[in-house]
Amino acid sequence: MAAPQKTARSCAVYMMTQILSEGRLMAELSQSGAMEGLSPADRARAQRLTMDTLRALERADRILSKFMRKAPPLYVQNVMRLATMELCTGGDAHGIVNDAVNLVAGNKRAQAFKGMVNAVLRKVADKGPQEWTILRMPRLPKWLRAPLVSAYGPEKVAQFEAVHFQSPPLDITVKNNAHLDELAETLDGEIILGGSVRLKNPGQVSTLPGFDAGDWWVQDAAAALPVRLLGDIAGKTVLDICAAPGGKTMQLAAAGAQVTALDVSEHRLKRVHENLERTDLKATVIAQNALEHNGSYDIILLDAPCSATGTIRRHPDLPYSKDGAKFTQLFQLQSDLIDHAVSLLNPEGLLVYCTCSLFPDEGECQIEDALVRHKNMAPHPVNYDGLDIPKECLTQEGGLRITPDLLFDKGGLDGFYIAVLRKNS
């Protein structure tokens, strides 16, 4: 018997099962061929179905629990979770239920549950949509929520969760800022934070005007801020540490800097090469452990390895692939990278430290400790004019704390911490 044909729904169920049982990431699954054989449109749909179900997992489970005495095996449970999300958000009941039953029937280990799946999902189709709208906002896992509540308070974290529940818009960075207004109009986008273009319904990215020409690249507006805080850097020598996939490298190169892009992963650097080629921008690209790199630079941008907890709005798989157990190792690595970066800075040079993390341990605390260790480093005054950044984002040690709920009514932002330090001697 021929293997069942891959569909967007079957791939979504497979990816959910891998994420929830093996702790794998969507990016890893995509690169390993989980959606191989699907058309570009179906690949996009499979990713959307997976992400939307993970965002709504708590709601789906609460609704299903009303019609089941106990949870079925994980594969069957994920088929039902996906179907519940679709049924409760306006999907066609007949097609969704039939597909769910067929997915279970086509799996030898799950076949015995097809009658139960049919019966339960028909009840969900009847009563689920009304329940869906009154359930609480899905919460982060306890291991992650507890330290965030400690840092920001329960009301602020609830706002984070509300942003995480939304499908995020797409932000792009423009290669030539002189064309910012023109490109925003062409793409029917909105300029945010003074320099990024936000698209609410972009469709397939590679088909948008200006993509093939390299006029812009995808980059969350918060992630674009570290380079934009530097101002005029034309002719400066810049080391971009942990550069892949290359968004900040392209920003630096487009601003006229002499850029060295450094990353430990040769595989990830392939994306940097591809992006530089598409945008016709130049940088020296090196695969190397940053702690082993030597040289001297006017500016060092350290986008340090971190928990990535600030990116959950775009990557709802993250809370299920981590449990916080290895974060202490990350904290030490960040500290080591800061110390090495300082040693590579020219006198009067600038160090930009940033992480896409919501944990103060990976942001504010790192800079506070670094300023104690390095008496020749001090916060560098930054001009925030035109960036539309609220004053409450400025932190005591001189950094900038971006949280997901900023621009809430426009789709939020990635959580980010940024600090700019100057070497005095």
* 356 included as an active-site residue: yes
Domain boundary among 115, 132, 149: 132
Residue at 60 is within a domain: yes
Average predicted confidence (pLDDT) for the chain: 94
- Over its C-alpha atoms, the chain yields an Rg (Å, rounded) of 23
- Long-range CB pairs of 158-162, under 8 A, 24+ apart, other chains included: 159/404, 159/405, 159/408, 160/358, 160/403, 160/404, 160/405, 160/415, 161/137, 162/137, 162/405, 162/408
Same domain, 112 and 230: no
**Structure confidence by residue, pLDDT tens digits, 250-273:** 999 999 999 999 999 999 999 999
Residue at 308 is within a domain: yes
Specify the pLDDT at position 1: 39
List the catalytic residue out of 11, 88, 242, 356. Answer: 356
Residue 351 has pLDDT above 50, yes or no: yes
Domain boundary among 105, 132, 159: 132
Peptide bond into 245 cis (omega under 30): yes
Domain CATH code at residue 329: 3.40.50.150
Torsion sign across C-alpha atoms 312, 316, 321, 322:
positive
Percentage of the chain lying above the pLDDT 90 cut: 88
**pTM summary value:** 0.92
Specify the pLDDT at position 2: 45
**Structure confidence by residue, pLDDT tens digits, 125-171:** 999 999 999 999 999 999 999 999 999 999 999 999 999 999 999 99
Confidence of residue 5 (pLDDT cuts 50, 70, 90): confident
Residue 381 has pLDDT above 60, yes or no: yes
DSSP conformation class of 322: -
What average pLDDT does the segment 320-338 reach?
90
Residue 111: its H or E element: none
Range of the domain at 52: 8-132
Same domain, 233 and 92: no
Closest of 314, 341, 307, 357 to residue 421, by C-alpha: 341
Phi, psi of 366 (to 5 degrees): -60, -40
What are residue 302's DSSP bridge partners? 241, 353
Our count of domains for the chain comes to 2
Confidence of residue 4 (pLDDT cuts 50, 70, 90): low
User: How many angstroms separate the most distant Cα atoms in the chain?
Assistant: 74
